[in-house]
Amino acid sequence: MLVSGQVDLVQELDGQPHTVELHPGHAAVNPRGVWHTATVHEPGIALFVTPGRDTEHRPR
């Protein structure tokens, strides 16, 4: 959930990028196992709920 700022959630779905625009008060759920990143257009505050077990990191 985005509390303040402006961020795009970029998910990799079927090998293609899918962008979800987030504005304050908006939220998105990333499906299990879907790689994702964020493009920050305006710094702000976001609330993340992520189960730590089996979480992976993809190096750039």
CA distances from 7 to 2, 36, 39, 52, 53 (A): 8, 13, 6, 23, 26
43: its two tokens: 């710094």
| DSSP bridge pairs for 11 | 18, 36
State the chain's mean pLDDT as an integer: 89
Asked whether residue 56 carries a pLDDT value surpassing 80, the answer given is no
d(CA 40, CA 47): 14
Asked whether residue 51 carries a pLDDT value surpassing 80, the answer given is no
pTM, whole model, 2 decimals? Answer: 0.75
The pair phi, psi for residue 14, each rounded to 5°, is 55, 40
pLDDT the model gives residue 50: 77
